[in-house]
Structure 1
Amino acid sequence: MQPYSNSGSPDAKRPEDRLPEDVTYLRTMISNVVMVGMPGSGRWILVDTGMPGSTSKIIKAARERFGSEKPLAIVFTHGHFDHSGSIKDLVELFPDVPVYAHELELPFLTGKADYPPGDPTVGGGLMAASAPLYPNKGIDLGTRVQPLPADGSVPFLPDWHWLHTPGHSEGHISLFRSLDGTLIAGDAFITVKQESALAVLTQRREIHGPPTYFTPNWEAARTSVARLAALRPASAVTGHGEPMAGSELTEGLERLHHDFDRLAVPASGRYVDSAHIDPEA
């Protein structure tokens, strides 16, 4: 993991230069985790826990950046396997660290419900074709996970608030800091064509809707993208792909918003005609 700076230049060659100094990300195979906190402060929040088997990589990166201090909290954008893969190891390592998620995500994180299975019929590449192989079973964190505050605040991050951005999952959230326009989008939109193994390998940077093979509600996903585009974020880190900033981000997100059906919704698939979930819920 490299050090992260605060240049904020949308044309910076290094991905880390597109984020504020206190926001960093770490790629775990195919998905990202985010850490929020000033380097060396010992005070930090972990957003998502990446792919299974990522625990040591996350801990190593956190110690290099923050020292030996444990996170103040773990916050889920959602609980899909590639975002919750290391949570069971982490809660054992940090038994007193609170874990938060949207209340609609809790059934999938307490073993009461499973996610809809991946849909290989959406097309787009090898990652999509492999969708039936991806785990969709819920995990059981029991009482270790609790709902995020209903007022939209984020524990231990007073300048941030969470927004319900469903579609990719029922309780999907994004995090936003209005002071500088920083967005942690999860999979509400992403910056790589996740359906394509080649695009994932090269990390070619371009704005896309949520991964098609794991998105069961396209009407809600459309509304969520519109909500995030309206924020006009200055920088964003997403669940897949490299960070974006500046006009590359705002213009790309606006295009996705206005042409969502063509750019994001697959031409076919078992979830294309899914029901509506209210993002304000």
Structure 2
Amino acid sequence: MKRSSSTERFQPITSENSNKGFEVAPDLYCYTIQIVNVIFYGKPGEEDWVLIDAGMPKSAEKIKEVAAARFSPNRPPKAIILTHAHFDHVGGLVDLLEEWKDVPVYAHERELPFITGQQNYPKPDSLVEGGMIAKLSFMFPTESIDIGGRAQPLPSDHSIPFMPGWKWIHTPGHSVGHISLFRESDQALIAGDAFVTVKQDSLYKVITQKIELNGPPRYLTPDWERAEQSVQTLGRLHPKLAITGHGVPVTDTHWLQNNLVKLIDHFKELAVPDHGKYVDE
């Protein structure tokens, strides 16, 4: 396996919710590490569980600690599912896989080049309209990692391995192979970064985790047309609860659906920056 700056370059950014967990549903636990959420699927005490996303660089030990406390010590997940492979969602992946020897990693087929060493992401746009996090984004790594044969494409029938009742939905824009996860039985949504519940380009709001529904992080979103279409796709699901890659989970259905409609209706004003290289292109 090949490491890169996406797994090795620690980012000294945090929030007041760092090291806090949120019980979103009996089998959904959201845990914040610095400024990003890691999701544990499975009921407490169960031996079979799934990890969704792998956090910031150098976060593997904390992920293993939370997993051991929630499930069973020394019991690896059945699989790791990636919403996408930006550095803050795969930062702990290589370290985890070196200990969890036989655990497969599933991602959309268009995201596989970024975890098999074939392609790097576009550079962040630090000149994009936004707050201090956007200005600092030039420091964020975009190098691919290489986990070799551990990387597997998600099933073409949109099922999710070891997550019965869930389906994956292609929600590109923030990345070409970005996915979200949805369970129809309780209308639970794991949105990844298709939309987030914090203004991610603002340092103050990232630190304080003030809740507000926003489009994907501006500085790492190269395709705004597809990003808008993806939010529309998720809105048509009418989710009753949502976990996003950044910000606090939402279980207030009325707030979630109202704000999702507002974001869809005013996406260009609320989400798309007024200027930036991916907007200007």
TM-score, structure 1 length as denominator?
A: 0.90
Answering whether residue 31 of structure 2 is matched by residue 20 of structure 1, we say no
| 1:277 alignment counterpart | none
State whether residues 21 and 32 of structure 2, in contact with CA within 8 Å, keep that contact through their aligned partners in structure 1. Answer: no
Hey, what does 2:153 align to over in structure 1?
147
Aligned to 2:223: 217
Give, in whole Å, the separation in 1 of the partners of 2:148 and 2:72. 29
CA distance in 2, matches of 1:234, 1:16: 16
Match of 2:257 in 1: 250
5 Å matches for 1:114-193? 114-193=120-199
The corresponding residue for 2:49 is 44
Runs of 4 or more, structure 1, over 6 Å off, are: none
Unaligned 5+ segments in structure 2 are 1-19
Aligned-partner SS, 1:201: helix
Q: Deviations over 1:228-276 (max 9, x none)?
A: 01101010000000001211111111110111000000000111156xx
In the alignment, does 2:27 pair up with 1:57?
no
Q: TM-score normalized by structure 2?
A: 0.90
Shift of 1:143: 1.2
SS at match of 1:127: helix
Over 3 Å counting, the alpha-carbon distance change for 1:99 and 1:260 in structure 2 is: same
C-alpha contact 1:188 1:210 (8 A) present in aligned 2: yes
Aligned length: 260
8 A Cα contact 1:167 1:217, kept in partner: yes
- The alignment status of 1:73 with 2:75, answered yes or no, reads no
Q: Alignment identity in percent? A: 50
Q: Deviation at 1:142?
A: 1.3
Residues 122-131 or 214-223, more deviating: 122-131
Question: Structure 2: how far apart are the matches of 1:162 and 1:123?
Answer: 31
RMSD, aligned α-carbons = 1.2
Give the secondary structure class of the aligned counterpart of 2:127. Answer: helix
Q: Distance in 1 between matches of 2:152 and 2:27?
A: 25
CA distance in 2, matches of 1:121, 1:249: 30
Per-residue CA shift, 1:156-180, capped at 9, x if unaligned?
Answer: 1111000000000000000000000
Equivalent residues of 1:15, 1:242 under 8 A apart: no
